[in-house]
Structure 1
Amino acid sequence: MTTAYDFTLPGLEAGTINLNDYRGRPLLIVNTASKCGFTPQYEGLQAIWCQFKKAGLVVIGVPSNDFGKQEPGTASEIADFCHRNYGVSFPMAARGSVKGANAIPLFQWLNKECGFLGCPRWNFYKYLINRSGQPAAWFSSLTPPTSPRVRDAIERTLLNG
């Protein structure tokens, strides 16, 4: 059976993000963009990362230019924007496609596992992966990362796997 831990992502600033390195830890995977109305959610993602990383949660941003061409920058421009404006310290992947036939393998798998309604329809879709590497919940762009729904799902996943 395939799990989220079976995937790797090129890192935004260099190297590779090997999700197997986080095996047994819950993941919150988010497709991001720097020029979107939802971009301020970076602040909430950083807050969630700071609050729950000691408990084991890993937040991973995946910049994408799929929706409204709202992530046009180079890797260094994206990294600089995230660090300067939102203090992002969680792992960020290189920009990649998250929808359709051109989606990166991780998002092809997420789209299959989460079904039609779970496929990202805009930036800042959030996918919570349980300790077994399977999707536990997903949240649309409209749900802020610091909302009670997201926090409760994270806490349940941290407690129950």
Structure 2
Amino acid sequence: MKFKFDEKKLAEIEKVLETKFAKRGNQYRAVLMNPVEHRKLSIEIYPQIKIGHRTGNLVSIYTNNTHAQLHFCDGFVASDFLGEVTFFAEYNGRLSGIVVEKQAACSIFTNVERELLSGDFEKLAPEVMLSGLALSLTEPLLDENKKESRDE
């Protein structure tokens, strides 16, 4: 079963990011503001749209200086403790993710080897360690998605 955004999942994201999504057609949009740091971030989620010849989830992030997209989003991890939501996609054993913080910041990690998520982080160079740590939250969901794919 493919991951799908629904009202319950969107409410989970809203809670962690302390925002509300506005729905326009097949798009959900929210804006995060951080006046202290002079940051503004917009997040748009397009559930099950046509991307090339396939259908999937698209997550777009807009900041004053950046536009980032995650195609074929396979899911997310919403962490109240960290105050952030990690959107992720896996393709051929490599993981990409966008981490959105409620303080209107984001980090992007692309093409990360899946084996880095559960390896010994202390053996990794600091430049590589951060991506493995950040995306390690997704590992249980990746395993669940893989199991569901086998069961179909």
Q: TM-score, normalised by structure 2?
A: 0.31
| Higher RCO (CA < 8 A, seq sep 6+) | 1
The structure whose Rg is larger is 2
Q: TM-score, normalised by structure 1?
A: 0.29
